[in-house]
Structure 1
Amino acid sequence: MAGISGHWAFAFGVLGNIVSFIVFLSPIPTFYRIYKKKSTEGYQSIPYVIALFSCMLWMYYAFLKTNVTLLITINSFGLFIETIYVGVYLFYAPKKAKVYTVKMLLLTVVGGFGAIILVTQFLFKGVVRGQIVGWICLVFSLCVFVAPLGIVRKVIKTKSVEYMPLLLSVFLTLSAVMWFFYGLLLKDINIAAPNVLGFIFGILQIVLYAIYSKKERAVLKEQKLPEIQKPAVIVEDENTNANKKLPELTQEQIIDIVKLGLLVCADKVHVATCPNDTNCGVKATNNVENIPKLQTVEAN
């Protein structure tokens, strides 16, 4: 029976590694944008510093245990990728943000983690040391899982899911499920307990996304309805564009056209008044042919 639970624990641990791997890679688009724009654009470094500190804590706890190898593998990757994120942030952040990030690193990674190692190494031994570190990890994980309550509150207040990505919520929920069963099958409450809260908050975020995204689409649809009835404006714009395509005549061309009209009219009158004069037709033809700028008008 113990062998079967061990196999199931290994299976859930592998699935937890896969899902957590995707969660750790989810900020890559954000940092690619930072790299392209050479600026952090108001992004905060706190999530990445806290994630780095969390990975270090779980790594320390895993080394004190004997049956949580898969906890070591995923947190090793998390430690690596979060270090890169913090490094990129420090490279492109403005001076004020850099100073704040360095202070956070000194407070958590150096001060906090260093103090935990010193206290547990010198004051506790054996199994008790592992239990103390486990309880520290449990409390810290609960604080991390409570953090999304700020996003939930913002979604309810603004009635918008703009700041709550659905895919990340789904993967965080799946991660909580996998690690809960991993800890449960290993009978490790320090791993299982925090993920119960993580699962509850994950489901809450997904439900809120479903509710408010549907309302948001309905509002957008209502706002777009009045914009459909605008045929008069479109026709007017087309007429305006058609008028703009007509060539503009210069003052000289207009004078030539007027002269041409007057000459043609004069010749017709002359032909009508002297039908017996054989030179009338010749004069009219010569007058029309001697107009110098007729070809210019036709070309334009």
Structure 2
Amino acid sequence: MAFSADHWAFVFGVLGNIVSFIVFLSPLPTFYTIYKKKTAEGYQSIPYVVALFSSMLWIYYAFLKTNTTLLITINTFGVFIETIYVGFYLFYAPKKSRVQTIKMLSLFVVGGFGAIILVTEFLFKGAIRGQVVGWICLIFSLCVFVAPLGIVRKVIKTKSVEYMPLLLSVFLTLSAVMWFFYGLLLKDINIAAPNILGFIFGILQMILYVIYSKKEKAILKEQKLPEIQKAEVIVKDENMNTNKKFPELTQEQIIDIVRLGLMVCKDKVHVATCPHGTTCEAKVDENVPKLQTMEV
């Protein structure tokens, strides 16, 4: 039995829900780090506020259309999880960041979303209202998909993929593919069109990741550890202010020097005897030059 367009739309909608569910959960490691540090300093709340506003907007659009249940389910979860993220951020954020986040919530969630509902409810009726809200969702989604250009620019500038996680890029690209076919099969341009841009940017991010990750590996291979220089014996001359460096002596050379020293001492040292025939002390010839001090 062949599937109709509605059946295929349902399949891609379910797949889109699964992938988008994973994308919504992707910030969990970030918030676990915030929990361990007991502070949100250094992190931004803008992505979570924008995601919350986007989910609310798509829910409103889905209620104005028909056969968009799967769009409602995933964005309802989005509103739930993004609200938790924002609340968690507010709890651990410093005072300045907390004030900025509250201002953004007032601007987007209260002011922006409230204004859209009031304007569309009183100025537009029927199908036209759905089209207007759809165009608003389309424009906002395009702005959201353009946001990763900042990351792409940073990767090209730094020649490093440190700030662009590969798995997130993969799941965002898959999400764009699923929702594009969902909108296409429902003949809803407001759902399909933004995901074309999302797919293009997702592929671009993965290509950049492959290129610059290979370059990073090549650079690491080219880097060599500095060679350990051989130890040198430094002999300090008492009559000079400079230090002279000589190569390290071998064991045979040291033995020859010791033997030579013993021979010199044997020729220059005179043993004095006590009146009773026992050895009392040794007198060293003063004409023998003093050995210089060796410092290693």
Alignment TM class, shorter chain as reference: 0.7 to 0.9
Deviation digits for residues 238-291 of structure 1 (CA, Å, limit 9, x no counterpart): xxxxxxxxxxxxxxxxxxxxxxxxxxxxxxxxxxx9xxxxxxxxxxxxxxxxxx
Paired positions, count: 233
Deviation digits for residues 35-61 of structure 1 (CA, Å, limit 9, x no counterpart): 111011310000000000000000000
* Map of 1:210 onto structure 2: 210
CA shift for structure 1 position 2: 10
* 2:169/2:202 contact within 8 Å kept: yes
- The one-letter code sitting in structure 2 at the alignment partner of 1:61 is Y
* Map of 2:111 onto structure 1: 111
CA shift for structure 1 position 220: 1.5
Give distance in 2, aligned partners of 1:168 and 1:231: 46
Give distance in 1, aligned partners of 2:87 and 2:27: 14
- The one-letter code sitting in structure 2 at the alignment partner of 1:121 is E
Shift of the 2–191 alpha-carbon distance from structure 1 to 2, 3 Å rule, reads farther
Deviation digits for residues 118-148 of structure 1 (CA, Å, limit 9, x no counterpart): 0000000110000000000000000000000
Q: TM-score, normalised by structure 1?
A: 0.75
Shift of the 71–2 alpha-carbon distance from structure 1 to 2, 3 Å rule, reads farther
- The one-letter code sitting in structure 2 at the alignment partner of 1:70 is L
Give distance in 2, aligned partners of 1:220 and 1:125: 62
Larger strand proportion of the pair: 2
Give distance in 2, aligned partners of 1:77 and 1:179: 16
* Map of 2:53 onto structure 1: 53
Matched, 1:146 2:183: no
Give distance in 2, aligned partners of 1:175 and 1:232: 59
Paired residues for 1:1-300 under 5 Å: 4-223=4-223, 225-227=224-226, 229-230=227-228
CA shift for structure 1 position 10: 0.3
* 2:161/2:209 contact within 8 Å kept: yes
RMSD of Structure 2 on Structure 1 (CA): 1.7
- The one-letter code sitting in structure 2 at the alignment partner of 1:88 is F
Give distance in 1, aligned partners of 2:89 and 2:2: 46
Unpaired segments of 5 or more residues in structure 2?
A: 232-277, 279-296
Give distance in 2, aligned partners of 1:69 and 1:99: 36
Give distance in 2, aligned partners of 1:184 and 1:95: 45
* Map of 1:250 onto structure 2: none
Unpaired segments of 5 or more residues in structure 1?
A: 234-272, 274-300
Give distance in 2, aligned partners of 1:69 and 1:141: 19
Give distance in 2, aligned partners of 1:196 and 1:94: 38
Give distance in 2, aligned partners of 1:78 and 1:220: 41
Larger helix proportion of the pair: 1
Give distance in 2, aligned partners of 1:124 and 1:101: 32
Percentage of identical aligned residues? 82
CA shift for structure 1 position 226: 2.8
Give distance in 2, aligned partners of 1:208 and 1:221: 20
* Map of 2:285 onto structure 1: none
CA shift for structure 1 position 162: 0.5
CA shift for structure 1 position 221: 1.7
Q: TM-score, normalised by structure 2?
A: 0.76
Moved over 2 A (4+): 229-233
Give distance in 1, aligned partners of 2:11 and 2:207: 28
- The one-letter code sitting in structure 1 at the alignment partner of 2:129 is R
- The one-letter code sitting in structure 1 at the alignment partner of 2:83 is T
Give distance in 1, aligned partners of 2:15 and 2:78: 16
* Map of 2:283 onto structure 1: none
